[in-house]
Amino acid sequence: GGTSVVSQPPAEPHPLLTPHLERVAPMDDFFKPTKPEYQFEGRREPVEQALMSGREAWWKLAQLLPSVPQASGAAGAHEASLRGEAAFRMIENHEAVLRDVCNPSKTHNIIGIPLKQAELVRVPMEGAYYASQCMREVCRRLIGDKPGTEACKENLDGTPDAAKVWVATCLYLMCRIQAHKDEMPGRAPDYAYNAVFPMRAVLQEVALHAMGMGPQ
């Protein structure tokens, strides 16, 4: 007789790979208050202003989750669940990410702990508005082609400063984010393992776009 095959129940999806927001709270409730430890060296006004001016745009992106299978450009080569994980993580943690990208300290991170990747080049604080804008465009592309994403498109304003900050933001995050503990011993991974790949791919695409070499 033939060999019997015992069917296995389907594996439960990894919670990090199925991000969703069943209900988006009102904007005033959606973002948690700034953690006091973020301001241990005092307020950094360009960053505070970028966070405040970008609140509505970040909220609109959150409403567009989850990601959909259809996606243009670099995002199209990656599964929607992985793109969704990457976008969700950045949207959820955009304040900490922006503060990290624009951290002026050469020795300590945004909560006063010694830097583990001090060699990475961060974005000057004065570029916080453009850095936040760039991060939103990365998330928008990761979400995919669905109603509402085109209205959230972020555009370069044509100035050299904007393009430089977009490129610097992408390069920093491409080096900064990690998927496995061995990439940076002593620091927890930022994403579920496979979700880093769509994030890095779209960061590279947006950097090329800012240099006038990638998809618009």
**Does some domain include residue 10?**
no
**Does some domain include residue 156?**
yes
**Does some domain include residue 5?**
no
Question: What is the tens place of the pLDDT at every residue in 114-133?
Answer: 888 888 999 999 999 999 99
Q: What is the pLDDT of residue 189?
A: 53
Q: What is the pLDDT of residue 57?
A: 95
Is residue 33 very low, low, confident or very high in pLDDT (cuts 50, 70, 90)? low
What is the extent of the structural domain holding 185? Answer: 42-210
**Does some domain include residue 65?**
yes
**Does some domain include residue 25?**
no
Q: What is the pLDDT of residue 6?
A: 42
Sign of CA dihedral 131, 136, 142, 145: negative
**Does some domain include residue 161?**
yes
Q: What is the rounded CA–CA span in Å between residue 72 and residue 59?
A: 22
**Does some domain include residue 140?**
yes
Q: What is the pLDDT of residue 191?
A: 60
Question: Which candidate, 89, 69, 91, 70, places its Cα nearest to that of 15?
Answer: 89
**Does some domain include residue 14?**
no
* Number of independent structural domains in the chain: 1
Question: What is the tens place of the pLDDT at every residue in 65-75?
Answer: 999 999 999 99
